[in-house]
Structure formats: C-alpha cells, structure tokens
Amino acid sequence: MSTKILNVVGARPNFMKIAPLMEEFSRHPNIETCLIHTGQHYDAKMSKLFFEELGIPKPDIDLGVGSSSHAVQTGKIMIAFEEALLQINPDLVVVVGDVNSTIACSLVATKLGVQVAHVEAGLRSFDRTMPEEINRILTDHISDYLFVTEKSGEENLLHEGISEAKIHLVGDVMIDTLLRHLKKAQQSQVLQKTGVSPKAYAALTLHRPSNVDSPTQFSAILQALEEVQKDIKIVFPMHPRSASRLQEFGLKQHIEALPNLIVTPPFGYLDFLKLLAEARFVLTDSGGVQEETTALGVPCLTLRENTERPATVTQGSNQVIGTDPERIVAASQRILAGDFKTGGRPELWDGRAAQRIVQVLLKEFSDRA
C-alpha cells in the first residue's frame, strides 16, 4: 500500500529543507509525493534557480499567493491550499521551517483531519515579537510528527507539554543540502565576479523586520558597517526588503558612499554557499545562515538579541552580539585580530537527517497497514 505525502514550500529558506526530503522520498516506491509551492516568495527567477540547483522537482501545484501583509498572505494561502488538499487527499502533509506557509498549511490540514509533520520543530527564540516565533509555536502544537534539529528543540517541546512520542531528534536537513552541494559550490566563480579574495572579506545578510523596518535601527547597523568596512571588504547580497527600506528611509546614498561595502543582488544557492565558505567571517540576522556557518566552521556574528538555534552558539562558531554599533565593531575587530570562536557540528548534523525522517514515517505508516 502506498503512502501519499504532500510537501509544502513557500519561501526560499524552505527550498534547502525540502530538497533532501524529496530526494529521499523518491527512493521509496511505496511513497507517492506531491509538491506544492505556495508562492509566498514569488521571484520567479530566484525560485527557478534554487529549484534547478537543488534538483527539486517542478512543483505539482503553484498557488501563486505573492506578497501581502501577514494576515492577508496567510488567509490567501489557507483558501488556496484547502482546495488543493481536498483534491489531492494525502495521508500526510509535510511542512518545513517557520514561514507563513508553514502555519497556514498546517492549520488547513489539521482542521481537515490530515496528519502534519513539521520539519525543524521545537526551535524557540522566546521573542514573540518575531512573526516566525508565533508560526513555530502554533505549528508545533497542531502537528503529529515533530522532527527536531537539535537538543534544545526536544527540551522546548517537552517543556510545553507536547508528548514525547511525537518528538524525533533527526538532525538538520539544511545541513544535508549543504554537505551534498558543497563540492559543487566550490566551483562557483562568485568571488571573482564580486572582486574579492578568499578570507579577505566579510559576508553580510540583513532582512529581519526588527533590523530593517526601523530607520533608527537600520541606521545604527549601517554606522557599524561603515567602521568595519574600513578594515575589510563586506559583500552584501541585498534582500529585496532591505533594498526597499534603504530607498524609503533615504539611506541608499549612505551605503553607496562606503567604498568597501559591495552590494549585490541576491545570489543563488551555490554562489551564496561559496560566499559563506570563503568568508573571513559572516554578519547576519538569518537563522539558516547561523546553521550554515556552524557547519562550515566560519565565524558568525548574529545581529540579534537572541537566537532560536542555541546549538550554533554552544557548539558552533556563532556569537549573538546584538545590534549595538560598538559591539558589532568590537566583535569584528577581534576576529580580524585572530581572536574568534571555533566549534564543531552539533549532534546528527551529518547529512543524513532526511533519511532519519523518512525512516520514522515509513515505520509509522507500515505499523498502521
């Protein structure tokens, strides 16, 4: 008897998480898969590039919801996904990460009596001003299978009263993707195209609303970058949200005046992985980048007051330094002076998380047969 599994992606961070799962599912003839792209991130060029680079099958259905406020976007996804779910009638819905698509599709599936598996469950920043934190908590509490990347995830879920039987520590599917594609990424010409040399630049990503939606906060971070770029080139693949806010706040000219701050459009996965791997250090407010730098052993300075991925700090190469300009500059200067944090990969970050997830699901569904 075959098991029909409906997989959901909606935003670029989801693509790296679904790729190893789709590949692993394809190895089992008794698993029938369907892939839905909600269209939450709707840049056709970037989405197409990620799908091609990661070997993800073309989505069976693209809901095409596009960008809106949290409420409008979540509502649009729910309406469109319900119709697709009723049409497909799967045994299980798999959601990944913490974007609006994650909670929207989980809610629809649960209310229609379809089981949900949440990949990357249990992560907590304990900051409920982050939209992603709300998505994580709600998704975890209505899911039937909770696949956890690190020990803190297990502890968080148990503390919230979730049954231990639902929780499975499997490792990190993001690292599955990274390890699989690292050799290919090394062939990327992105450094030559950008005009930098290995270990002679810092990489920067910045997109969190708390950092870029406030002119005061964004200006403070730019103040720190102005100082850091005096000592080392900074490559900044700019997120569309950040680009929009720079224009809106009248800060674009300020950034353009910094000679060693190299602003580029967003990169594809392989180019971005090469950029991270060869950086002297990375400045970021991204959760995924904290994981990737830990796997690569590259020093990472997280421009936030918290992290939902504490293993990257306790075991990896990440430091959470906040957004105070003086702290950012001081931490950067310490790394440039050779004083930086080293670490290793957390437990089960070995490239086999997707295999463990599929084995759990195969056992569960064979037990029911």
Classify the phi-psi angles of 236: left when phi > 0, otherwise alpha if psi is within -120 to 50, otherwise beta. Answer: beta
Q: What is the length of the chain?
A: 369
CA 336/CA 321 separation, integer angstroms: 16
CA 97/CA 320 separation, integer angstroms: 21
CA 291/CA 309 separation, integer angstroms: 8
Three-class DSSP category at 54: helix
| The pair of three-digit structure tokens given for residue 238, joined into one six-digit string | 């700019």
Nearest to 9 by CA among 365, 19, 1: 19
> Would residue 207 show up in a list of annotated catalytic residues for this protein?
yes
Can you list the alpha helix ranges (DSSP code H) found in the chain?
A: 12-25, 44-54, 70-88, 100-111, 131-142, 151-159, 173-185, 190-194, 209-212, 215-228, 240-249, 252-256, 269-277, 287-296, 311-314, 325-336, 353-368
Count of other CB atoms within 10 angstroms of residue 342: 8
Q: Is the dihedral of CA 246, 249, 250, 253 positive or negative?
A: negative
- Cβ pair 303, 320 in contact under 8 A: no
Nearest to 172 by CA among 107, 122, 206: 122
Three-class DSSP category at 116: strand
| The pair of three-digit structure tokens given for residue 125, joined into one six-digit string | 């920043």
Of the listed 41, 207, 239, 254, which one is catalytic?
A: 207
CA 9/CA 18 separation, integer angstroms: 7
Active site residues: 207
